[in-house]
């Protein structure tokens, strides 16, 4: 059988890594396929890999449209523009596509999968979620025979690195972010990462596969880590919690709820000790039970290895449907009303006046919310406001939000209250 002919568009961190794997004699990639062409913006750039054996294309759409390419590997990035145009061109003529582009798959996954199926092509994206950790494959294959109720993970290495460094070094969010940018761990514009959107793209993809629904990014409620302060990390730590950015999708009575937000995890929680830039995913499924996947979520080596594993699946005839099932069998995800119940962490910056704590307790009591623990930072002479933190016993999120609104209206707070859910090990992950 003739070898599959591969073209790679995008020769940055990941693309360069895949070219290196093709050049490595020990890699299985060359057994059943060969790299024949590459594309990037600047032909003259030294990328530390020998590109002379491969045809060069200035235009990734021309590469994707070339009949001499059987598999188009998209490693450009971005939900639209050149990446989307090139992937559409490849699928439109029946060429297989392998991509690491979570934004593209989260926003346009249904249309791309539809084009793939119509034209007899495969669309694979293991590297789009979890870098080197085989999260997509695990859900498509290992958990396929079970019924997943929840997928919950730490899916953005930059946020996890920032939160871990804040805790370990005692530096502020701004200081750690700025250092991460200097080291190249965070983008110059960090909004996609710290705002939670990158994790939301990945959650969209995982939820679609886990729950058998079409990817629906617009349905994810997204909150980033920008408001997490050193005070939160220290006080949550005193109460036995570690703060993580959690991306979570739950299926309740056939309806799907997805959110990305910072949460306080008890120290024995399966995701609490996933530190630095590691990624992890916890899947609750019946009858499999709880499964945990953990590893390096980004970087040249792990991400290129995931691209390579998709290529090998293609070459060995193991590639299935993009989201695990034919598109006609994927339902539109009915949106769950967030009827969430749980415990909460609330940080308030309150004016240093008598009666403030009593007024706050009164607003909570009005919503039948019981306080579990309460911490106050010492008042310094030069400050007129003081941070207080409390955690609650289990209550309805709607009542917690009503209480927070009432507290904010009291004119005793010096900044908007900050609310996070509290999660314990062994707690059922479902939202209602």
Ligand X SMILES: NC(=O)c1ccc[n+]([C@@H]2O[C@H](COP(=O)([O-])OP(=O)(O)OC[C@H]3O[C@@H](n4cnc5c(N)ncnc54)[C@H](OP(=O)(O)O)[C@@H]3O)[C@@H](O)[C@H]2O)c1
- Residue ranges that bind ligand X, judged by CB under 6 A: 9-15, 39-42, 45, 60, 75-77, 82, 100-102, 127, 131, 298-299, 303
Upstream peptide bond of 287 is cis (omega within 30 degrees of 0): yes
Q: Rounded to the nearest whole angstrom, what is the least distance from the CB of residue 8 to ligand X in the complex?
A: 10
Nearer to ligand X, 157 or 212 (CB): 157
- CA nearest neighbour of 162 among 143, 175, 152: 175
Going by C-beta distance under 8 Å and a sequence separation of 6 or more, which residues neighbour residue 148?
A: 139, 210, 211, 251, 283, 284, 285
**Residues 386, 379: contact at Cβ < 8 Å?**
yes
Give the separation between CA 130 and CA 313, rounded to whole angstroms: 18
- Cα separations (Å) of 139 from 8, 36, 96, 151, 283? 26, 32, 21, 10, 9
Nearer to ligand X, 101 or 251 (CB): 101
Give the separation between CA 295 and CA 278, rounded to whole angstroms: 6
Q: Rounded to the nearest whole angstrom, what is the least distance from the CB of residue 344 to ligand X in the complex?
A: 33
Q: Rounded to the nearest whole angstrom, what is the least distance from the CB of residue 45 to ligand X in the complex?
A: 5
Can you read off the two tokens belonging to residue 37? 């062409």
Give the separation between CA 274 and CA 243, rounded to whole angstroms: 11
Nearer to ligand X, 100 or 199 (CB): 100
Q: Rounded to the nearest whole angstrom, what is the least distance from the CB of residue 205 to ligand X in the complex?
A: 12
Q: Rounded to the nearest whole angstrom, what is the least distance from the CB of residue 25 to ligand X in the complex?
A: 24
Distance from the Cα of residue 308 to its chain's centroid:
21
Residue sitting closest to ligand X (CB): 12
Query: Does the annotation count 202 as an active-site position?
Result: yes
**End-to-end distance of the chain based on CA atoms, in angstroms?**
53
Q: Rounded to the nearest whole angstrom, what is the least distance from the CB of residue 131 to ligand X in the complex?
A: 5
3-state secondary structure labels for all residues of 114-179: HHHHHHCCCEECHHHCCCCCCHHHHHHHHCCCCEEEEEEEECCHHHHHHHHHHHHHCCCHHHHHHH
Catalytic residue among 84, 202, 244, 248: 202
Nearer to ligand X, 6 or 389 (CB): 6
Nearer to ligand X, 293 or 344 (CB): 293
DSSP helix/strand/coil, 64: helix
Beta strands in 202-354 (DSSP E): 221-222, 241-252, 255-266, 278-286, 289-296, 341-351
Nearer to ligand X, 207 or 303 (CB): 303
Which amino acids are annotated catalytic? Answer: 202
């Amino acid at each position: 059988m003739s070898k599959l002919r591969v073209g790679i568009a995008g020769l940055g961190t990941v693309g360069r890594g895949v070219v290196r794997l093709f050049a490595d004699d020990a890699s299985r990639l060359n057994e059943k396929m060969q790299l024949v062409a590459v594309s990037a913006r600047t032909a003259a750039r030294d990328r530390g890999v020998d590109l002379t054996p491969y045809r060069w294309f200035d235009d990734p759409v021309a590469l994707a449209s070339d009949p001499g390419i059987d598999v188009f590997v998209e490693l450009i990035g971005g939900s639209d523009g050149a990446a989307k145009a090139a992937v559409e061109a490849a699928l439109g003529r029946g060429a297989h596509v392998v991509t690491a582009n979570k934004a593209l798959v989260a926003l346009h996954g249904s249309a791309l999968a539809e084009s793939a199926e119509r034209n007899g092509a495969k669309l694979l994206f293991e590297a789009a979620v979890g870098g080197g950790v085989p999260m997509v494959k695990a859900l498509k294959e290992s958990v396929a025979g079970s019924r997943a109720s929840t997928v919950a993970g730490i899916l953005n290495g930059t946020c996890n690195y920032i939160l871990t460094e804040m805790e370990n070094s005692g530096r502020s969010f701004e200081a750690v972010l700025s250092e991460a940018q200097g080291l190249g761990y965070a983008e110059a514009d960090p909004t996609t990462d710290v705002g939670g959107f990158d994790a939301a793209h990945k959650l969209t993809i995982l939820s679609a596969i886990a729950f058998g629904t079409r990817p629906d990014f617009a349905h994810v409620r997204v909150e980033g880590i920008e408001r997490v302060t050193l005070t939160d990390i220290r006080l949550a730590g005193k109460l036995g919690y570690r703060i993580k950015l959690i991306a979570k999708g739950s299926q309740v009575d056939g309806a799907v709820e997805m959110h990305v937000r910072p949460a306080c995890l008890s120290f024995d929680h399966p995701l609490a000790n996933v530190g630095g830039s590691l990624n992890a995913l916890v899947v609750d499924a019946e009858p499999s039970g709880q499964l945990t996947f953990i590893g390096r979520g980004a970087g040249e080596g792990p991400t290129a290895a995931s691209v390579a594993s998709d290529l090998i699946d293609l070459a060995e005839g193991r590639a299935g449907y993009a989201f695990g099932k034919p598109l006609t069998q994927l339902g539109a995800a009915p949106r769950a009303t967030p009827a969430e119940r749980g415990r909460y962490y609330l940080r308030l910056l309150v004016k240093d006046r008598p009666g403030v704590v009593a007024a706050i307790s009164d607003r909570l009591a009005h919503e039948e919310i019981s306080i579990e623990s309460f911490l106050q930072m010492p008042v310094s002479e030069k400050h007129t406001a003081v941070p207080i933190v409390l955690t609650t016993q289990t209550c309805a999120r709607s009542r917690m939000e009503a209480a927070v609104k009432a507290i904010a209206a009291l004119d005793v707070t010096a900044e908007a209250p900050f609310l996070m859910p509290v999660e314990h090990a062994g707690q059922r992950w479902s939202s209602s």
